[in-house]
Amino acid sequence: MADCDYLYKIILIGDINVGKTSIVRRFRDGAFDDTYRTTIGVDFAIRTLDIDNKQVKLQIWDTSGQERFRSITTSYFRNAHGIVLVYDITNRTSLEVAERWLMDVNRLCGDSPVNLLVGNKSDLIDRRQVTIQEAKTFAANHGMIGPIETSAKSAANIDQAFYSLAQELVQCN
């Protein structure tokens, strides 16, 4: 590849409404829109990050509404290098169902991807239902990196989350 040193396929998974589409959109466009509606075709982002002077291209895939059925097709997971598992810090159920997403990852991903746990909606701190400690325990128990708390709305930690994942991927290679 001429234009980058590394190319990674990253997929976002997690319960519906946790903010996956908003995270991808924030990362790609630097924007947030409360009225934004998911459409197939825009749930995709490519950005090249500079990691230790290496050009690391991330190809990021959103689930395009498939999470409604709590299952995602094999083709979506195939050849993923990294997984971003998103829950909503104001919704306890969204962390509880994360377990199920990981089972799908283990079943459907060929090689073991690097998994990052992301707690979104950190701007809604007064409605918090999941503590950072609980998320740390979850991540540790499942061999994940993170957790990182983000807000697609305020942009807090969105870039940092993808940088951490990219850094880990580069180190693994």
Chain residues that interact with Mg ion, rule: CB under 5 A: 20-21, 38
Determine which residue in the list 10, 11, 19, 80 makes contact with ligand GDP, applying CB under 6 A.
19
Contact flag: residue 124 with ligand GDP (CB under 6 A): yes
> Are the beta carbons of 82 and 113 closer than 8 angstroms?
yes
List the beta strands (DSSP E) in the chain: 6-14, 44-51, 54-61, 82-88, 114-120, 145-149
Cβ closer to ligand GDP: 54 or 127?
127
* Count of C-beta atoms within a 10 Å radius of residue 17: 14
Contact flag: residue 126 with ligand GDP (CB under 6 A): no
Query: Rounded to a whole number, what is the largest CA-CA distance in the chain?
Result: 47
Q: Which does 90 bind (CB under 5 to 8 A by kind): ligand GDP, Mg ion, none?
A: none
Which residues within the stretch 150-169 sit at the binding site for ligand GDP (CB under 6 A)?
Answer: 151-153
Cβ closer to Mg ion: 20 or 153?
20
What sign does the CA torsion over 163, 22, 106, 136 have? positive
SS3 26: helix
Cβ closer to ligand GDP: 115 or 120?
120
Determine which residue in the list 3, 34, 52, 126 makes contact with ligand GDP, applying CB under 6 A.
34
Contact flag: residue 120 with ligand GDP (CB under 6 A): yes
Q: Which of 147, 173, 148 is nearest to 159 (CA)?
A: 148
Q: Which of 88, 83, 92 is nearest to 17 (CA)?
A: 88
SS3 19: coil
Q: Which does 18 bind (CB under 5 to 8 A by kind): Mg ion, ligand GDP, none?
A: ligand GDP
Contact flag: residue 16 with ligand GDP (CB under 6 A): yes
Contact positions vs ligand GDP (CB under 6 A)? 16-22, 34, 38, 120-121, 123-124, 151-153
